[in-house]
Structure 1
């Protein structure tokens, strides 16, 4: 039996999916336009935009469909986690695969750029259960046994910052790295600072208060967001730098509210605006986790009693 996935595009530009948000009442349909986003058959799933494009030339169809992907107008059905009981994919069969964990911020970086460049139909997601990871992942895919990793052209690469640059330069879609010399230099500075930023913030997880290092790290971000005035992002316009920081600030913001009763955006208007703008990015929003779940993961990892 075929099944339909229906979204409601409302007048205030919000979208509520009847599958993803069951709390949305059906009486909203009188104010919204129904849009069928997916058609399910027993063994396959077809999106109507792709059906429409079949009548077009292949090259034009691929360009238009990638544009829809990049714009976030095509919802992706996420694959299930692979664990120790799962069979491996047919590695090195010519398919480009991105191995991730849905809860890993480093993997989320690469997932975001995949979506932003509209590569959902070019790079297949392979989610790994990190708490029960399959032995074949280390043996057959990536000996470092970490995520993310990218299988492309019969090679496997790792390290999230390297991968977001690699995907940006080796795949189609809009470039997310600046050509302007000043912005390019600042981008490299900010990308190099990401590990320092994360260490400074995480160092304050235990103990009372936020700590001087974490406060200084968030102040650095506020100052960095003030450098260019041609947009709300780190380099003015959206770039790899925003992708590098987004998964971590997405976690730190609710964590500090919950554990420290401290709002990292208080007194930081640039960071406030940046978070608001990032939350408008559909390609990024498709990768976001539930705040409570993200906080629980951090508590389990950093605050659990030993």
Structure 2
């Protein structure tokens, strides 16, 4: 990092979206200040200042210039600093990485969270939807160590909720959606993912994360769209 360069990350220790950005920064070896936003429900002046559109974490501040939305931030980090590439260099492979990262974000995460947090007919529908979506990832990871090939890439970082958070949630809720019998390739990726030294260093402690997820899952269902951003 250049002398005099200032990098800050506004985030939360237990948010998979925030930790995505930490993974990208640490992969590149970028030194940064982490600003923990403890109360994300009451939109703080900090978020209103640096992310007035969405008022959500994470927000990266590079020399006081804000960048919001985790996938956009990761691409910015990849293009700004030297170090291991997060996105492929080949234009086609690069576009595919963007496609699957967006697929994880816009399709998988909501369905998987709702499969765990909703009950009755809504819960059954969410489980069925999540199961169908996971089949696409099961096929995409087939024959690969990581979604990025031999190295951790954009999709692996983006899928951290699937690789870590969801396993804890399954244990808490007591049902099995993502199993080795149904998704052997995806589960093999998960095993390699959570046991990778770099990934392990960047994941929140399981006991602390379990406690936070218990609180998130026992909240009354208001009928509004659930979110894994705990």
TM-score, normalized by the shorter chain, greater than 0.5:
yes
Written as runs of structure 1 = structure 2, the 5 A alignment for 1:32-43 is none
| In 2, Cα distance between equivalents of 1:148 and 1:168 | 16
Q: Unpaired segments of 5 or more residues in structure 1?
A: 1-61, 63-92
The aligned counterpart of 2:6 is 95
Q: Secondary structure at the match of 2:198?
A: helix
The aligned counterpart of 1:108 is 19
Give the count of matched residue pairs: 211
> In the alignment, is the contact (CA less than 8 A) between 2:11 and 2:34 conserved in 1?
yes
Q: Secondary structure at the match of 2:115?
A: coil
Q: 1:212 aligns with which of 107, 112, 128?
A: 128
Post-superposition Cα deviations, 1:67-98, rounded to whole Å, max 9, x if no partner, equal xxxxxxxxxxxxxxxxxxxxxxxxxx952111
| In 2, Cα distance between equivalents of 1:240 and 1:170 | 15
| In 1, Cα distance between equivalents of 2:175 and 2:44 | 41
Q: Larger strand proportion, structure 1 or 2?
A: 1
Written as runs of structure 1 = structure 2, the 5 A alignment for 1:58-137 is 95-119=6-30, 121=31, 123-130=32-39, 135-137=44-46
Q: Which has the larger radius of gyration?
A: 1
TM-score normalised by L of structure 2: 0.79
Written as runs of structure 1 = structure 2, the 5 A alignment for 1:285-296 is 285-296=200-211
| In 2, Cα distance between equivalents of 1:261 and 1:176 | 34
Q: 2:67 aligns with which of 157, 170, 176?
A: 157
1:234 aligns with 2:147: yes
RMSD: 2.7
Of structures 1 and 2, the one scoring higher in RCO (CA 8 A, sep 6+) is 2
| In 2, Cα distance between equivalents of 1:94 and 1:125 | 15
Q: Larger helix proportion, structure 1 or 2?
A: 2
Pair 1:129–1:174, CA change in 2 (3 A): same
1:184 aligns with 2:94: yes
TM-score normalised by L of structure 1: 0.61
Q: Secondary structure at the match of 1:108?
A: helix
1:222 aligns with 2:138: yes
The aligned counterpart of 2:47 is 138
Q: Unpaired segments of 5 or more residues in structure 2?
A: 222-230
| In 1, Cα distance between equivalents of 2:34 and 2:184 | 35
